[in-house]
Amino acid sequence: MKKLIAGFLLSVLALAGTGARADVLVLVHGYMGSAASWEYSGINAMLAANGWPRSGVLAGGALIAPSAVPTANSSYAVELPSLAPALVQADHLQALLTQVAARHPGEAMVLVGHSAGGVIARLVLARGGAPGAKALITIATPHLGTERALQAIDATDTPWPFCLVQNFFSDGAYSAVKRSRGVLLDLSPAYPGSLLHWLNAQPHPDISYHSIVTPGPAGLGDELVPAFSQDMNRVTALAGRAETHLVASGHSLNPATGAALVAILQQL
């Protein structure tokens, strides 16, 4: 009987330990990206090989292609309207995180944001929209903004009908950028009265923060975002609270940033 009770207690403790270790990973794409960005870059495959299998894509309030096999950890990619203003995207993300929390009650959540996705994730956190979060990992995110956003706005300030020619030769990219002026303004260098200036002064939850910084060949940043802007320690509300991880790569998601992400997850 003692052996039976001891075996039962060990089983219960083992199950409890498994539950405590279970985390939910939520992948947030960047500007002009999509949930598929994590797949095409090879990062989903790297995560799956290291204990974070694909659990589905959250888009439009629905779970697409959910995993049929229950696993300890879960990894979801979200689909956001990346051309919409940042606050609109944050509202979408918060609604999707509510769904994730309902599917995984009591499990901790790790948010990963690439580029603009890191800003969107911080907006949700600062507004209290992810109470189950235990960590935020950002990849090449313009926390202090980027001049490239202003340059994109200027490049689409062409009067009609010349803009029609530009749109034709850009295969529709001109029109897409023009429709996204709101989020480009949100991602411009922070100044008093701007969204980033407000966000960077807001209290952030007491969780773990990690910045994957892509410094580029000269150490000044990648082709889109300066290195200093990618570091959450440069954010007023997060100074001294974030770990910085330098990765020699470009701005787009790639295996190098994927390896850094896996290494951070193994530390959490």
* pLDDT score recorded for residue 75: 95
- What is the per-residue burial (b if ≥16 Cβ within 10 Å, else e) of 74-86? bbbbbbbebbbbb
* pLDDT score recorded for residue 66: 65
- What is the per-residue burial (b if ≥16 Cβ within 10 Å, else e) of 172-211? eebbebbebbebbbbbbbbeeebbbeebbeeebeebbbbb
| Spatial separation of the C-alpha atoms in residues 141 and 161, rounded to whole Å | 35
In the chain, the DSSP E strands lie at 23-28, 54-59, 62-64, 74-79, 108-114, 133-139, 208-213, 242-246
Joined together, the tokens standing for residue 174 give 């001109």
- Residue partners of 91: CB distance under 8 A and separation at least 6: none
Q: Is 222 exposed, middle or buried (0-12, 13-18, 19+ CB in 10 A)?
A: buried
* pLDDT score recorded for residue 37: 96
The superfamily CATH assigns to domain 22-148+194-267 is Alpha/Beta hydrolase fold, catalytic domain (3.40.50.1820)
Per-residue pLDDT for the chain (268 aa), expressed as one digit of tens each? 344 333 323 332 233 333 345 799 999 999 999 999 999 999 999 999 999 999 999 987 777 766 655 568 999 999 999 999 999 999 999 999 999 999 899 999 999 999 999 999 999 999 999 989 999 999 999 999 999 999 988 876 544 333 333 443 334 455 677 687 989 999 999 999 999 999 999 999 999 999 999 998 878 899 999 999 999 999 999 999 999 999 999 999 999 999 999 999 999 9
* pLDDT score recorded for residue 163: 39
3-state SS of 52-72 is CCEEEEEECCEEECCCCCCCC
Domain boundaries, the chain: 22-148+194-267
Distances 247 to 122, 207, 223, 254 between C-alpha atoms, Å: 21, 23, 14, 11
Contact call for residues 254 and 41 (beta carbons, < 8 A): yes
Exposure of 5 in the CB half-sphere (CA atoms within 13 A): 2
Decide the pairing of beta strands 133-139 and 108-114.
parallel
Displacement of CA 54 from its chain's centroid (Å): 16
| Spatial separation of the C-alpha atoms in residues 35 and 27, rounded to whole Å | 8
